[in-house]
Every structure is written in C-alpha cells, then in structure tokens.
A and B are shown apart, each in its own frame.
Chain A
C-alpha cells in the first residue's frame, strides 16, 4: 500500500520547465506552501528525477525543446501510471488538453497561471496518489479480499476511477475483469451514465464494426434501419471492451482513430459524430506477445494501456479463498432462504490448495454446486472433490486427454488378445517395436494380461 507518503513527509513536487524564470517562480510558490520542491529544466532530467526523488506529483510545461510535456507525460504514465501530472501550457488549445487528459494528465492549466488556482489543483490531485480513505464513494463493495495484492489493486483502481484515464485490465479467465471495470465506472463521475460491456470475441467480425460504431439505413444488406452503435449508446458513460485481443486488425485501425479523434463514423455514413466515452478494455491474452507477432497493433496497445491493472489469479491469493467461500455460501443461503452451510475442515483445506484454473467464477460454481447437492449442513471433502473434479475434467489439456485415451486403448487391446503383443500390434496398426515403445511409455506390461484371472 502506498498511502502513507503524504503523512510521513511533505508532498514532493517535481517541477519541469525550460524557462528558468517560470521554474523559479513556481518553486517559490510551492515552497511557500511547504511543499518539498525539486526543479529540472528538461523532460529527460525529469524522468531521471522520478526514479531518484520519487515525487508525489509532477508539474510540467507543455512546450519544451527535445522532449515536450506530452512525451514526458506518456513516458511517466508508462512507468508510474498513478503519479499525478499537471500540465502547464502557454496556450489553451483544446485538442492538447483532450489529448493530455486521455494520456493520463490530472489537470491542464494555462500560463500565466494564478498561484491560488495552481495550489488548489496540486492539493486536489495529491489526494489521488495519497490516502483515499476519505473517499465519499464506496469502491467495488462486492469485490471480496483480504490479501495485500488485491488491496493494492483496489487502491490503484480507486485512484484512477475519478478521472477519464483509459484503463487496461488483464487477468486470467474468471478473475472478474468486468466486475472491476464496473466498479471503476461506479466510482467515477460518469456513474449516472451507462456502463456498456461488449465482448469483442463473441460478436462475428462482420457485425462488430456496426455494433460498435453504428450504421446508416441501407449501409449493407440487412441494414433495414439506422443503428446508433455501442459507442453512442455509452455516451457520457463507460464502454468496456472485453477480449480486446480478439478484435480483427482492420477494426483495430478504426478503433485507434476513434481514440485519437473522439469521433465515430457509422458504417455507410460520411459524417463523424463526436463521442464522450471512457474506454476500459480487458484481455486474458498476452497482448504484448500479440503485438510482437503482429496480430495486435502496437499503437493501439499503447493507447489502451495508459493505466494497466492486473488482477491476480485466485491461486496467487490463497488467503482470500476462505473469505470468498464464506461470502458465496452466505449469498447462496440468503437467495434460497435456507440455513447457511459450511465446509468441513478437510474440504476447506482442499479448496484452499486447489489450483482454481477458472478463478473466482469457478469458485462460485463450486460453492453453488456443493450447496445445492449436499443435503446436510456440513459439506464434506468428497463433495468438494466431485465439484472440483468436474471442473478440472472440462479443463483437461489435449495432451492429457490423448495420453489417457491411448492408455485405455492399449489396455483394451491387450485384454482382447490376452497379452499377445504381435496380435495387439497388428490390431493397433503398428509394428512390434513401435508397440513395445508405446507400452513402455505407459508402463504397461503385456505379461499382466496373460495371467488367468484371479492369479
């Protein structure tokens, strides 16, 4: 947890400007307000200082030689997505301000800046990286955890909820990526506007474009009416793009353009429509790998991954399992109006050490299955094993399934031929040498099949 930075020492502000007069003035103002101030005159020096002095906030000029404020901002957010950055610009250019906001800037101020306004903004945004316990809005109340790894994730998520920063969630299947996205939306100023989730992998490629961007009447065969699309439907709210890694390449280009211009062009339309949507995307794939392989565009990847949040797998936080089991048993009993059941100590320890390939979603299924099937109040180990076994059976790898089939097949053939290797090999369509190799691989001895039953 990173909540005690601001209580143990003065908040440290890194000020970046290539104009020494501005730098001196800002430093003076901030020091008068008892901030700890570090000044540098270039983006390059700023990046070096971030690692050394670990500032709580960065205040930077936009226009500078070599590395400008925008490049600095994007590099800072690559390294430290939660570090608040306030931009100062000589000109109030709206596109710059919009771009800066979406790159993760906390505020955009115009020079000459008023001292009071600057100090107010700094104080406001220091709260973002500091203690959030005074937050008025509850965050993700249905996210159950006690582990520090989850606490850190929730803290990061809460910190980014308040802004329009583009968030990118990764996590194995069943870890609750959409639940986290919804929690961020619910804690954001957009909470009274729609939250729309779309699974990019579940919609046929040809339909995805019109689903997202909308289409005009007659844009293609079957387009009988005009359709607004999900970007428009999420106007003022949040659009959650799940399984973004499954998005086809040509659509990736179009999505990139939308994220750059904040406009969408419905299929068959010549006009672009402005949109006001916060994007949260998610994937269970390794997109970095997809970028290397050329199946996912690097420019889109970096535009989406402004704030990366990674949800740990359930097996990486075993201390949460008992809490989750209890929560879902309680939920089950409340839903059914039945007394709450519990797991036997052996069942519990088995559940805590289970691999949980399907994560929290699998855990909920196991709890529901056990609570439904078990007629007594205490759920025994055998029931848990059954519930877990079914889940694992479904998720067996092809290699394991092949191996197990091969073994069963060899046993059947040997039973049929009573352990005669030559006939068995002929039936299996292999020569004797190959057949022996197979038997060795499975540790099967044909002699075992020659013995009369009972011996």
Chain B
C-alpha cells in the first residue's frame, strides 16, 4: 500500500477494480512523475508540454478509477492552453494533495 506522506491529512478512499491491482501502483507513480515534469515545464515556459501531460491524465484517470485525476488533468490542460501559470499551479497542488492522500481499496 502507498505511504501516507501527509500524515496529518485525511485519507481519500478510492475503490478500484481488483483486476487492476497490479497496474495501480505504477499508474500513481507515473502521476508523481507527471507532477515533477509539469513543474519543470512550467519553469521553462513550455505550456505545450504541460497541456499534453494534462490531456493524457484527463484521458487515463477515469479508466483506472481516478475520476479526480481526469478532472485535474482537464483543468491543467485548459489552464496551459490559456497560459495561466496560476491555474496550472493550483490544479497541480490539488493533484499532489490527492495523490498523497489517496488510499486505494480493491473491491
């Protein structure tokens, strides 16, 4: 199971398809990498890269059972399209918070 980084925060329980148990840790790990990549792209002003990463998250989250990832991905995509740095950062913050707190239950 994932380590709760934010130990003072409440956990977010998400139910996922038990068939996907093997894939979920890798999926969440990749989102952590996305967060780092988006921050780097923001620093270098590469909004297109930010947009693509947001777009991908939007497309994949729901399928794995993480509707929030899809929602956040969508926000990142639109904010990047509008070159809205604050908007991207805000969504990114929420995403990071979500990834830290999420606790997957397979049922």
Identify the A interface with B (CB < 8 A). Answer: 19-22, 24-26, 28, 32, 63, 88, 90, 111-113, 115
Contacts and interface: CB of A to CB of B under 8 A. Distances in A.
B64 A111 contact: no
B55 A90 contact: yes
Contact of B23 (A28, A63, A111, A112): A28
A15 to B, nearest CB: 13
Contact of B19 (A22, A26, A28, A90): A28
B63 A112 contact: yes
Contact of B60 (A21, A32, A63, A115): A21
Contacts of B27: 21, 24-25
Given A28-B19, A112-B70, A22 B63 contact: yes
Contacts of B23: 24-25, 28
B58 A21 contact: no
Interface of B: 19-20, 23, 26-27, 30, 55-56, 58-64, 70
Contacts of A90: 55-56, 58-59
Contacts of A88: 59
Closest 8 CB pairs of A and B: A112-B62, A111-B59, A90-B59, A21-B60, A112-B63, A19-B56, A22-B60, A25-B63
A111 B58 contact: yes
A28 B56 contact: no
B9 to A, nearest CB: 25
A63 B19 CA distance: 27
Contacts of B70: 112
A32 B59 contact: no
16 contacts: A19-B60, A20-B30, A21-B30, A22-B59, A22-B60, A24-B23, A25-B60, A28-B19, A32-B19, A88-B59, A90-B58, A90-B59, A112-B59, A112-B60, A113-B63, A115-B63
Nearest to A91: B55
A232 B70 CA distance: 43
Given A32-B19, A111-B62, 15 more contacts: A19-B56, A19-B60, A20-B30, A21-B30, A22-B59, A25-B63, A28-B20, A63-B55, A90-B56, A90-B58, A111-B58, A111-B63, A112-B62, A112-B63, A115-B63
